[in-house]
Amino acid sequence: MLSIIQAAGWPIWPLIACSVLGMALIFERFLALKTARVAPPKLLDEAITVSSKALPTPDVVNQLAQNSALGEVLASGLRALNSNPQCSETDLRAAMEGTGRAVAHRLEKYLSALATIASAAPLLGLLGTVIGMIEIFGSQAGGGGVGQAMGGGNPAQLAHGISIALYNTAFGLIVAIPSLIFWRYFRARVDAYLLTLELASEQFVRHILRLRKAK
């Protein structure tokens, strides 16, 4: 691997930096987008059960908010009711929607960076290819004569230029393809989570409104 990096020349170093950064972002998103940290399956039912008779205490609401992203959204509605038991449905929805937007921004964190790596890596590989081709033509035209430009160039320098071109092109694709795949995977996962949060929030709001009418 070290010999390949040395043969590829300096243009491969930005690609190596992109590959390290991309791997770090992928690993971080896998941890951050776990279902247990975003939308635990039974959390909504538990929140409805806890608030079915009376509003939970602030300590219970804080525990709910620290549970997951979904818990944070649900807790914002309970906090709005604790601060103002007579708040309107509009205010209640506004409080939960505001928290939901903050949660959505957090879920989408680093996805744009991963998409940038997926887009930039092929261009960096192309840059290395162009630099390699420049070295190739430079070695072929080194003597200045037409006959030397046609076939009398330095073979070692010619091979070095070709290696730079091919190594950078291949490495750019090696970095870009997994980054694009994981970006699409995380994008789809975030969209599914956001839909889950929206539906759960709507169900929780209806539950709270029914509870207030019953009282």
* Gap between the Cα atoms of 146 and 144, Å rounded: 7
pLDDT tens per residue across span 41-63: 999 999 999 888 888 888 999 99
What pTM, to 2 d.p., does this model score? 0.83
* Low-confidence residues of the chain: pLDDT under 70: 1, 4-9, 139-154, 157, 159-161, 214-215
pLDDT of residue 11: 77
pLDDT of residue 4: 67
pLDDT of residue 147: 45
Which tokens hold the place of 108? 């989408």
How far is it between the farthest Cα atoms of the chain?
98
pLDDT of residue 209: 85
* Gap between the Cα atoms of 77 and 74, Å rounded: 5
- 133-142's contacts with Cβ under 8 Å and 24+ in sequence apart are 133/161, 133/165, 134/161, 135/160, 135/161, 135/164, 136/161, 136/162, 136/165
* Gap between the Cα atoms of 20 and 210, Å rounded: 52
pLDDT of residue 146: 40
* Gap between the Cα atoms of 61 and 209, Å rounded: 18
Q: Which residues contact 199 (CB under 8 A, 6 or more apart)?
A: none
pLDDT of residue 215: 61
pLDDT of residue 149: 44
